């Protein structure tokens, strides 16, 4: 004797129940992609591509310098984690990874649009304007990514091959690490330079090539005493 009410037993035959379950599974796997549930957070390859890992305690840094270092690492790591979603093979089902990529792009889940905005708003607010951290490029799409003179000097230093760059100007401490272009960035930022970005036609492609140092994540921290007085 089953506990099912008579009406239910009559209406749903075992065959149609199986059909319904299979249909639901198919829809779920197409929309959300089963690979997302079962894949680990990141593959070893993606981890290896993250220049800033493993994050170590910066030798000889304390206070404001340590804050600048931490802000840069946090923004870089957030960028990298988000960018890996654009490249990660999402599914064995043909076309699903493309669909997923479109979904990310159409909803503007881009490292620059999300990580950039969060950090550029939260950090100055949470430090009463004492600190900022942002992506600095020479000719930014978004004016808020324009660096000050010191930031552009640091970017130039990184382009010459330094792994990190820092400067104490007396007024503030700056810390910078490079942003390197990867194959995944090219669809929107690659060649031909000047052509319109296929997803964001209001912008033009920069002509970046994989491996180029295209910008830097830079933090600027004003010492507490100076900010207070």
Q: How far is the CB of 219 from ligand HEC (least distance, A)?
A: 15
Mask 121-160, x = binds ligand HEC (CB under 6 A)?
--------------x-x--xxx--x---------------
Name the segment binding ligand HEC (CB under 6 A); options: 27-35, 92-100, 110-118, 150-158. Answer: 110-118
Question: Site for ligand HEC (CB under 6 A): which residue of 68, 71, 110, 154?
Answer: 110
| Number of residues forming the site for ligand HEC (CB under 6 A) | 26
* Cβ atoms within 10 Å, residue 147: 22
CA dihedral 68, 121, 179, 210 (to 10 degrees): 170
Interatomic CA distance for residues 66 and 59, integer angstroms: 9
Given the complex with ligand HEC, which of 86 and 173 has the nearer CB atom? Answer: 86
Structure tokens belonging to residue 188: 């929107």
Distance between start and end Cα atoms, the chain: 81
Name the segment binding ligand HEC (CB under 6 A); options: 12-20, 148-156, 160-168, 178-186. Answer: 178-186
Given the complex with ligand HEC, which of 32 and 203 has the nearer CB atom? Answer: 203
Interatomic CA distance for residues 149 and 147, integer angstroms: 7
Residue nearest ligand HEC by beta-carbon distance: 185
N residues, the chain: 229
Question: Site for ligand HEC (CB under 6 A): which residue of 185, 219, 221, 222?
Answer: 185
Q: Are 154 and 216 spatial neighbours (Cβ–Cβ below 8 Å)?
A: yes
Q: Which long-range contacts (C-beta less than 8 Å, at least 24 apart) are formed by 200-207?
A: 203/141, 206/139
Name the segment binding ligand HEC (CB under 6 A); options: 12-20, 64-72, 150-158, 174-182. Answer: 174-182
| C-alpha closest to that of 67 among 220, 225, 229 | 220
Structure tokens belonging to residue 31: 């929309």
Contacts of residue 71, defined as CB under 8 A and 6 or more positions apart, other chains included, come to 119, 123, 131, 133, 175, 219, 221
Mask 60-89, x = binds ligand HEC (CB under 6 A)?
-----------------------x--x---
187 binds ligand HEC (CB under 6 A): yes
Give contact residues for ligand HEC (rule: CB under 6 A). 83, 86, 105, 110, 112-113, 116, 135, 137, 140-142, 145, 179, 181-182, 184-185, 187-189, 199-200, 203, 214-215
């Amino acid at each position: 004797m089953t506990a099912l009410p008579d009406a239910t037993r009559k209406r749903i035959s075992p065959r149609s129940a199986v059909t319904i379950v299979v249909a639901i599974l198919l829809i779920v796997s197409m929309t959300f992609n089963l690979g997302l549930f079962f894949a680990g957070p990141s593959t070893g390859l993606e981890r290896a591509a993250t220049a800033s890992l493993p994050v170590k305690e910066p030798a000889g840094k304390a206070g404001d310098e340590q804050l600048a270092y931490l802000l840069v690492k946090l923004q870089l790591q957030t960028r990298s984690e988000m960018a890996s979603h654009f490249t990660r093979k999402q599914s064995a089902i043909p076309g699903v990874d493309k669909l997923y990529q479109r979904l990310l792009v159409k909803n503007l889940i881009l490292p620059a649009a999300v990580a950039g905005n969060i950090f550029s708003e939260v950090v100055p607010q949470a430090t009463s304007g004492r600190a900022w951290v942002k992506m600095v490029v020479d000719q930014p799409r978004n004016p808020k990514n324009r660096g000050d003179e010191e930031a552009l000097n640091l970017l130039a230093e990184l382009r010459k091959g330094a792994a990190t760059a820092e400067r104490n100007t007396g007024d503030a401490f700056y810390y910078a690490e490079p942003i390197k272009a990867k194959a995944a960035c090219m669809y929107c930022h690659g060649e031909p330079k000047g052509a319109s970005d296929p997803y964001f036609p209001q912008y033009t492609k920069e002509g970046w090539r994989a491996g180029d140092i295209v910008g830097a994540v830079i933090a600027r921290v004003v010492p507490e005493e100076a900010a207070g007085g």
